[in-house]
Chain A
């Protein structure tokens, strides 16, 4: 427990100190890199909520990541062009306000997750993996061929959306926003993992018969977890879109789902801070290996393989040992 606590603190500390250092030596790109790690971490935390706590192996979380991104893109696009998103039956206008966009991204992602979850949760195991993948693939092909928002070319939003009192185009200020959101999401997930819901969800993952025998329905627990999971990943998608000031169907691709899953597994499945460690490690690998060789994917593959085969439980499993019961 103590080891894990120190690891968490160190992780958050480094994630804060590194960009501040980069800011002091005027290396804005490194700040952006740290922001990218944080946004990926949030996406991973979202997936971990379903995968780690609920045992729902979703290979379709790109659906929520992409939806969050497109919420940002579509709203900002209409705000830029002064056209309504929808004229009928009620008029909806675009917006360039980050908090509004986040709320809509969270709400729509949760809604999509309820829809996908309600259908997918009829299956389990590999079938669940594949049906979630199928939903994401459908959205991927749909956005590719949907010309209104750029199709495969995607959509550029030239200026980041606004946040009251901050200049979001300044890398360190945008970083601060993302860091704050990371802390809020971590706090929520940490609380939820120890909450009545967390206890029941974990029990359902371990033994569905047991949770039914105490009078609770696994399906409702799973669906709620899946909705929360989708909402968090959707929020990450909206942040990612603002980070790049750009959206594209790539956000919906199965490689995106795979990468989000890698953050979770690298860090440690079911650990609250696992995806943070996983995302940071992944960004570090991508950044350093990319400079080594044109064929850097080989090294990345070898490292991932090593983690799965020899470091069970990911980084957290390696450093902090077996998970201790929450109490």
Chain B
């Protein structure tokens, strides 16, 4: 293995981590503020991707498609929050898991009913196509660099919002003590709707951004959802910082595991079994990471609650 390949793979891991962060940020926010486990977060991701594909197909504009993904996912989020989710805040996790699992079924088949069973087309715009040369002679996809940038901007925006704005103060207060914030005269149900819509919009944006280089199809949300849960559990549920660190850890572990585990086993095993053992182990690597983290920190890396 060459150093340059290692650096490139580390960059890939970072980029994958940032993609996961976009998805995990909304999930951890919703959990931190409302204490809600939302399995349907993956469906909002899917809605964002489908909305973007539909709008890009009709208008040809990628930026309009991104806007559409934000708006549609946020709108779906508000609807779901209003009709279903707000009845679940004071329920236990079990009811939340089942109800949002039911939402997955409804959203997935509803999307298939509207858009059909075949994957949709969504591509990055021309101005983000192609590659750029990085130092050390690494040729890297411009679009992937752009995703890293957007992801870091979103992270910065969230840190700013939570740390510096009035709405952020309310969110933090709500995390600590629901009754207190209600006593302060803040309209708590409006705050919750806002936070849920924000989380949904982030998921939708992630769906659109990632959909441009992946497959826009029904069921695209569930594998990402499980990864996002792994991320926020590693980071500590409710912590945006934890989500960012967790996402990057997961991204790096997965990417580097995939790239180097088979050749690592090749050092002392025959090639075919090295390949299969390496591949099996790398598909389990993030779960091993998560179990390892939880054994030493049962509330995740940044989980204080």
Residues of B within 8 A of A119 (CB): 291, 295
Known A-B contacts A127-B298, A141-B280; A304 and B101 likewise in contact (beta carbons under 8 Å): yes
Which of A10-18, A30-38, A129-137, A234-242 is the interface stretch? A129-137
B280 in complex: contacting residue of A122, A134, A145, A258, CB < 8 Å: A145
What separation, in Å, do the CA atoms of A302 and B83 have in the docked complex?
12
B139 CB–A CB distance under 8 Å: no
B252 CB to closest chain A CB (Å) equals: 18
The verdict on A261 contacting B98 (CB below 8 Å), with A127-B298, A295-B112 known, is: yes
Q: Which DSSP category, helix, strand, loop or mixed, fits chain A's interface? A: helix
- Cα–Cα distance between A308 and B37 once the two chains are bound (Å): 14
Assess the A130–B290 pair: CB atoms within 8 A: yes
- Judged by a CB distance under 8 angstroms, whether A28 is at the interface is no
Do A295 and B113 have beta carbons less than 8 Å apart? yes
Query: In the complex, are the beta carbons of B106 and A305 less than 8 A apart?
Result: yes
Our pick among A122, A254, A262, A295 for the contact of B298 (Cβ within 8 Å) is A122
Q: Tell whether, in the assembled complex, residue B94 and residue A305 are in contact, meaning their CB atoms are under 8 Å apart.
A: no
Task: Tell me the count of chain A residues lying within 8 A, CB to CB, of chain B.
Answer: 44
Residue A318 is within 8 A (CB to CB) of chain B in the complex? no
Scoring A residues 297 to 319 as 1 if CB is less than 8 Å from chain B, else 0, what string do you get?
Answer: 11011111101110010000000
Q: Given the known inter-chain contacts A145-B276, A295-B113, please indicate yes or no for A133 contacting B101, CB distance below 8 A.
A: no
Query: Cβ of A137 and Cβ of B226 under 8 Å apart?
Result: yes
Do the beta carbons of B101 and A122 come within 8 Å of each other?
Answer: no
Name the residue on A nearest B277 (C-beta): A145
From B98, B229, B283, give the contact of A304 (CB < 8 A).
B98
Tell me the complex Cα distance, A123–B233, Å. 11
| Interface-centre pick from B37, B99, B101, B102 (highest chain A CB count, 10 A) | B102
Contact of A258 with B101 in the complex, beta carbons under 8 Å: yes
Q: How far is the CA of A296 from the CA of B110 in the complex (A)?
A: 10
Interface string of A243-272 (1 = CB under 8 A from B): 000000000001000100110010001000
Q: Is A126 an interface residue (CB 8 A)?
A: yes
Please state if B37 and A126 are interface contacts (CB–CB under 8 Å): yes
A298–B84 alpha-carbon span in the complex (Å)? 15
Assess whether A122 is in contact with B294, with CB atoms less than 8 Å apart.
Answer: yes
Q: A127-B233, A134-B230, A265-B94 are in contact. Are A302 and B112 (CB under 8 A)?
A: no
* A59 adjacent to chain B (CB < 8 Å): yes
Q: With A141-B283, A145-B279 known to touch, is A129 a contact of B93 (CB < 8 Å)?
A: yes
Query: How would residues 143 to 173 of chain B score, 1 for a CB under 8 Å from any chain A CB and 0 otherwise?
Result: 0000000000000000000000000000000
Q: A138 interface residue, CB < 8 Å from B?
A: yes
Q: At the interface, yes or no: B132 with Cβ under 8 Å from chain A?
A: no
- A297 contacts B105, C-beta separation under 8 Å: yes
A146→B280 contact, CB < 8 A: yes
B92 nearest in chain A by CB position? A57
| Contact partners of A57 in chain B: CB under 8 A | 93-94, 97
User: Which residues in window 275-327 of A have CB below 8 A to B?
Assistant: 295-298, 300-305, 307-309, 312
Question: Per-residue 0/1 for B288-305: is the Cβ within 8 Å of any A Cβ (1 yes, 0 no)?
Answer: 101100110011100100
18 A–B contact pairs at CB < 8 A? Answer: A57-B97, A59-B97, A123-B298, A130-B230, A130-B233, A134-B287, A134-B291, A137-B226, A137-B284, A141-B284, A144-B283, A258-B97, A262-B98, A265-B95, A297-B105, A297-B108, A304-B99, A305-B102
Known A-B contacts: A57-B94, A308-B91. Give 14 more (CB < 8 A). A59-B97, A123-B294, A123-B299, A126-B233, A127-B299, A129-B37, A141-B283, A269-B94, A295-B110, A295-B112, A298-B113, A301-B103, A305-B103, A305-B106
Those 7 A-B pairs whose CB atoms lie nearest each other, nearest first = A301-B105, A304-B102, A301-B106, A297-B109, A145-B280, A134-B287, A141-B283
Residues of B in contact with A (beta carbons under 8 Å apart)? 31, 37, 84, 87-88, 91, 93-95, 97-99, 101-106, 108-110, 112-113, 226, 229-230, 233, 237, 276, 279-280, 283-284, 287-288, 290-291, 294-295, 298-300, 303
